[in-house]
Amino acid sequence: MVQNIQDRGPRQPETKPASGAAAGAPAAAQINEALLRRFDVSGPRYTSYPTADRFVEAFTIEQYQQALAQRAGGSQVGGNTPLSLYVHIPFCESVCYYCACNKVITKHHDRATEYLQALVTEMDLTLEHLGRGAAVSQLHLGGGSPTFLSDAELSQLMQAMLERFRLAPGAEVSIEVDPRTVSVERLAHLRQLGFNRLSFGVQDFDPEVQKAVHRQQSYESVEALMVSARSLGFESTNVDLIYGLPLQTPESFARTIEQVGALKPDRIALYGYAHLPQRFKPQRRINEAELPVAGDKITMLAAAISGFERHGYSYIGMDHFALASDSLAVAKRQGRLHRNFQGYSTQPDCDLIALGVSAIGRVGASYSQNAKTLDEYYDALNQGQLPIQRGLALTRDDIARRAVIMALMCQGRLEFESIELAHLLSFEQYFKPEMERIRELAEQGLVVLEPGAIQVTPMGWYFVRAVAMVFDRYLQADRSRERFSRII
**Residue 350 annotated as lining a ligand binding site:** no
Q: What is the pLDDT of residue 369?
A: 97
Q: What is the pLDDT of residue 354?
A: 97
Taking residues 266-278, report their average pLDDT: 91
Residue 50: cis peptide before it, omega within 30 degrees of 0: yes
pLDDT above 70 (res 10): no
CA angle 278–280–284, rounded 5-degree value: 70
d(CA 152, CA 158): 10
Taking residues 33-39, report their average pLDDT: 73
**Residue 64 annotated as lining a ligand binding site:** no
Residue 131: cis peptide before it, omega within 30 degrees of 0: no
For domain 52-355, which architecture applies? Alpha-Beta Horseshoe (3.80)
Q: What is the pLDDT of residue 467?
A: 95
Taking residues 96-115, report their average pLDDT: 92
* pLDDT tier for residue 12 given thresholds of 50, 70 and 90: very low
The burial class, CB within 10 Å (0-12 / 13-18 / 19+), for 75 is: exposed
pLDDT above 60 (res 11): no
* pLDDT tier for residue 35 given thresholds of 50, 70 and 90: confident
d(CA 373, CA 387): 10
**Residue 472 annotated as lining a ligand binding site:** no
Give the Å distances, CA to CA, from 390 to 55, 61, 368: 6, 8, 6
Tell me the per-residue pLDDT of 464-487, one tens digit each, with 9 for 90 and over: 999 999 999 998 876 545 556 666
Cα 42 to chain centroid distance, Å, stands at 17
How many CB atoms lie under 10 A from the CB of residue 280? 16
Q: What is the pLDDT of residue 3?
A: 26
**Residue 92 annotated as lining a ligand binding site:** yes
**Residue 393 annotated as lining a ligand binding site:** no
pLDDT above 60 (res 78): no
Tell me the per-residue pLDDT of 203-231, one tens digit each, with 9 for 90 and over: 999 999 999 999 999 999 999 999 999 99
CB hemisphere CA count around 24 (13 angstroms): 20
- Residues 212, 290 contacting (CB under 8 angstroms): yes
Taking residues 185-189, report their average pLDDT: 97
Angle between helices 374-382 and 111-130 (to 10 degrees): 50
Q: What is the pLDDT of residue 343?
A: 78
Tell me the per-residue pLDDT of 136-175, one tens digit each, with 9 for 90 and over: 999 999 999 999 999 999 999 999 999 999 999 999 999 9
CATH top-level class of 5-9+21-44+396-477: mainly alpha
CA angle 193–198–201, rounded 5-degree value: 135
Which residues, 6+ apart, have CB-to-CB distance to 342 below 8 Å?
A: 47, 86, 140, 142
**Residue 360 annotated as lining a ligand binding site:** yes
**Residue 135 annotated as lining a ligand binding site:** no
* pLDDT tier for residue 79 given thresholds of 50, 70 and 90: low
Size of the chain, expressed as the number of residues it contains:
488
158's enclosing H/E stretch is: helix 151-162
pTM score above 0.85: yes
Taking residues 424-438, report their average pLDDT: 97
**Residue 410 annotated as lining a ligand binding site:** no
- Residues 5, 37 contacting (CB under 8 angstroms): yes
| Range of 277-291, 334-348, 422-436 with top mean pLDDT | 422-436
Taking residues 291-299, report their average pLDDT: 89
Which residues, 6+ apart, have CB-to-CB distance to 437 below 8 Å?
A: 470
Q: Which of 475, 486, 464 is nearest to 3 (CA)?
A: 486
Q: What is the pLDDT of residue 22?
A: 35
Q: What is the pLDDT of residue 30?
A: 67
Tell me the per-residue pLDDT of 58-71, one tens digit each, with 9 for 90 and over: 999 999 999 999 99
Q: Which of 360, 358, 359, 339 is nearest to 350 (CA)?
A: 339
* pLDDT tier for residue 315 given thresholds of 50, 70 and 90: confident
**Residue 274 annotated as lining a ligand binding site:** yes
Question: If you ran DSSP here, which 8-state letter would residue 356 be given?
Answer: S
Sheet holding 447-450, edge to edge: 413-415, 453-456, 447-450
Strand partners of residue 135: 166
86's enclosing H/E stretch is: strand 83-89
Average pLDDT, the chain: 88
- Residues 114, 166 contacting (CB under 8 angstroms): no
Q: Where are the domains of the chain?
A: 5-9+21-44+396-477, 52-355
Give the Å distances, CA to CA, from 427 to 368, 416, 422, 439: 29, 6, 11, 15
**Residue 251 annotated as lining a ligand binding site:** no
Tell me the per-residue pLDDT of 112-131, one tens digit each, with 9 for 90 and over: 999 999 999 999 999 999 99
> Rg (Cα) of the chain, in Å, rounded?
22
Name the least confident of 20-24, 88-92, 125-129, 131-135.
20-24
